[in-house]
Amino acid sequence: MTRQIHLGVFVLGTGNHFAGWRMPGATDDFQDLAVSQTIARIAERGKFDLLFFGDTPGVTPGMHPSYMVRPDPLLILSALAATTTHIGLGATASTTYSEPFTVARSFASLDHLSRGRAAWNAVTTSIANSSRNFGREHPPHDKRYEIAEEFVAVVRGLWDCWDDDAIVIDRATGHYVDWSKVHPLDHRGTYFSVKGPLNVGRPPQGQPIILQAGGSDRGQDLAARTADVVFSVVQDLDEAKAAYASFKARVAEHGRNPGDVCLMPGIMPIVGRTDADARDILNRLQSWVDDSSGMGLLSARLGCDLSGYALDQPVPDLSLPDSSHSFARTLLAKARRESMTLRDLYNVTVAARGHLVVCGSAETIADTLERWFVERAADGFNVMPAWFPGAFDAFVDEVVPLLQQRGLYRHDYTGRTLRDHLGLPRPAVQRRQG
Ligand SMILES: Cc1cc2nc3c(=O)[nH]c(=O)nc-3n(C[C@H](O)[C@H](O)[C@H](O)COP(=O)(O)O)c2cc1C
């Protein structure tokens, strides 16, 4: 089997561009289930591996509209489990503001409801004001990762509490569960104390897929040890190739097969009839963003209040913030490389929230994705349509067929679970001691 591109779609009901919802015909209500169902239908038509919903347990005025009005992703995914058949269903749950037992139970349940399509994005939550909703302090960056490491280990241990054949449902003997095949976790660690077992049988995938999106040293280390899919932030091909090679080496250092971890940078495809037409579409979207929204978004991404700076001055030398290293590092490197002003950089940031915008005809976009994939800057892409459904339809109907013709992407699903799509085996139970 030759290496194939994997595709995920980043779902935001108002589109991924800050102003995507203002495009005529665009969906504009993330709270309407029909919007997510429409996106899921298009994704399955495009034979996508994964549908992904981010999450943050708090709200800040001025954020992206789908970050301000954001229904619980696990509930949306439970509903989508009933109306989809193949696509992987991924959502974020915070390791700083959740309990591992609850997270393990929710994703095991989603895996059962969807017959093996659940994926958990384990994030440490970078936005400090989330802490106000939980009556506690926001831990500093590295401590958040220390907590996350224990959190992920507990969740994985809970998924393995039940042997695969523990639920017997024997009408003749009246035995429902064989308790000799159900094992407590007995975890007592620095941050969590969890007896177990879980009250859900072993998930159909054995272990639901783990997604990770932290780009700091600690984040990459957690991903290299535990993740199946890693979302990254890229702007430059050479930089992305170096990051890909260094991440895969880290996976190998942890005794894992680098091919078992799928690295998916975020990209926003703007598909036009021609390259010039695509640029016009992007310019139209960008014209709907004002300076203060742009600078607000850039401040959030760089983790620093930029309101005192002049828009047309060069981007100042800033250090990496406590909130998120990945976005700040990638954006500051781009600004330095291209001698950008703050206005230039906010324009990049409002488009795809710091991710790469690939703007052009379907051929131009397919060429770019092919090059990034073949030159090993990516194993696939986390596609971020600027608005739904139009921009996503264009990608699926015009770019996907080109990738298929070039032998880079599946024509149809060959399995039923997300592990099948990713080419990952179902893991055997591992007994972990707390
Ligand atoms: C594609 C993508 C999706 C992300 N989704 C979320 C999310 O849903 N919630 C969240 O709090 N952080 C999210 N993040 C942020 C990171 O997971 C991470 O928490 C943050 O970047 C800080 O980690 P770092 O310093 O290791 O980069 C996402 C990042 C990327 C690239």
Q: pLDDT tens across 338-386, in order?
A: 999 999 999 999 999 999 999 999 999 999 999 999 999 999 999 999 9
Neighbours of 215 (CB within 10 A): 23
State whether the beta carbon of 326 lies less than 6 angstroms from ligand 1.
Answer: yes
Atom of ligand 1 nearest to the CA of 124: 19
Tell me which residue of 410, 433, 431 sits closest to 86, measured CA to CA.
Answer: 410
Atom of ligand 1 nearest to the CA of 218: 26
Q: Which of 50-54, 96-100, 182-186, 314-318 has the lowest mean pLDDT?
A: 314-318
Q: Does 434 have pLDDT greater than 70?
A: no
Q: What is the pLDDT of residue 127?
A: 87
In angstroms, the Cα distances linking 208 to 162, 242, 347 are 14, 29, 37
Q: What is the pLDDT of residue 1?
A: 66
State whether the beta carbon of 8 lies less than 6 angstroms from ligand 1.
Answer: no
Mean pLDDT of the region 213-241: 96
Residue nearest to atom 30 of ligand 1 (CA): 213
Q: What is the pLDDT of residue 47?
A: 98
Q: What is the pLDDT of residue 163?
A: 98
Determine how β-strand 50-53 pairs with β-strand 88-94. Answer: parallel
**What would the pLDDT profile of 153-186 be if each residue is shown by its tens digit?**
999 999 999 999 999 999 999 999 999 999 999 9
Mean pLDDT of the region 305-315: 92
With cut-offs at 50, 70 and 90, classify the pLDDT of residue 308.
confident
Mutation to probe ligand 1, out of 120, 121, 322 (largest number of atoms < 8 A from CB): 121
Give the N- to C-terminal CA distance of the chain in Å, as an integer.
39
Residue 269 structure tokens: 């495809």
Atom of ligand 1 nearest to the CA of 214: 26
Domains in the chain and their CATH numbers?
A: 6-269+357-422 (3.20.20.30)
Q: Is 29 exposed, middle or buried (0-12, 13-18, 19+ CB in 10 A)?
A: middle
% of the chain surpassing 70 pLDDT? 99
Helix (H), strand (E) at residue 356: strand 356-361
- Whether 376 and 258 have beta carbons less than 8 Å apart is answered as no
- Angle, helices 325-337/217-226, rounded to nearest 10 degrees: 120
State whether the beta carbon of 116 lies less than 6 angstroms from ligand 1.
Answer: no
**What would the pLDDT profile of 10-44 be if each residue is shown by its tens digit?**
999 999 999 999 999 999 999 999 999 999 999 99
Residue nearest to atom 8 of ligand 1 (CA): 54
Going from the Cα of 263 to the center of ligand 1, the distance in angstroms, rounded, reads 14
Going from the Cα of 316 to the center of ligand 1, the distance in angstroms, rounded, reads 24
Output the average pLDDT for the chain: 96
Cα gap 211→230, rounded to integer Å: 6
Going from the Cα of 215 to the center of ligand 1, the distance in angstroms, rounded, reads 8
DSSP one-letter code for 395: I
State whether the beta carbon of 96 lies less than 6 angstroms from ligand 1.
Answer: no
Atom of ligand 1 nearest to the CA of 10: 1
Cα gap 349→146, rounded to integer Å: 29
Cα gap 200→419, rounded to integer Å: 20
Query: How many CA atoms are closer than 13 Å to the CA of 70, on its beta-carbon side?
Result: 22
Query: How many CA atoms are closer than 13 Å to the CA of 145, on its beta-carbon side?
Result: 20
Strands (E) located in 256-300: 262-272
With cut-offs at 50, 70 and 90, classify the pLDDT of residue 431.
confident
State whether the beta carbon of 400 lies less than 6 angstroms from ligand 1.
Answer: no
Q: Which of 15-24, 189-198, 320-329 has the lowest mean pLDDT?
A: 320-329
Cα gap 196→208, rounded to integer Å: 18
Residue nearest to atom 29 of ligand 1 (CA): 213
% of the chain surpassing 90 pLDDT? 96
Residue nearest to atom 9 of ligand 1 (CA): 55
Mean pLDDT of the region 401-422: 98
Query: How many CA atoms are closer than 13 Å to the CA of 367, on its beta-carbon side?
Result: 7
- Whether 99 and 57 have beta carbons less than 8 Å apart is answered as no
Category of 314 on φ-ψ map: left (φ > 0), alpha (ψ -120 to 50) or beta:
beta
